[in-house]
Structure 1
Amino acid sequence: MFMIFMKFSTNKSRAPEFIAGHVDWLKQGFDNGVFDIAGSLQPQLGGGILARAASRAEVEARVAADPFVIEDVVSAEILELTPSRTSADFAFLLPGAAA
């Protein structure tokens, strides 16, 4: 599992130019079953994504394809997390859980 933090760069003002492509990129991530959660970092710092993927390389490639990353609207940090404990609602995120 991966936590992706996308913090606004000095090009934040260009976000409106690329928002449609970014939204399409997010939709593709959800449609492909890679993204589980996406939302805004507060207060207006950027965004965050919880993702499941086969490999870190897959996540890195996907993040590199985001128009916000390509155009330096955000800088992305990818952290890998191996869950060892969850609430019952999120047990599906544990390693070995049925998808």
Structure 2
Amino acid sequence: MIHLRQLTIKESLALANEGALERSELAEYAGEYSSLFVFTVGKFQSASTEVTFPELKEKYGFAPPQSFLILSTQGKNALDTLCGFAEGENNA
């Protein structure tokens, strides 16, 4: 995640074309809320090495479902190495 902002519904809907939801889907999702948290992610990067669920579970105690995972710097570096992620701007 690169940015996290709290925006009004009007501001959020104005950005809908930049996101994964259609404007109508976002409006339906927002319902009666007055604001939404909007986050921006960097460029998608696939792992160059496939890592299986059993391997993640055994090495790191991974237990889904998780939509967000906060890692220590050491944990992030270990997963980057395991999965073969390249260093760079979007790998913060």
TM-score (norm 1): 0.29
Bigger Cα Rg? 2
TM-score (norm 2): 0.30
Give the structure with the larger strand fraction. 1
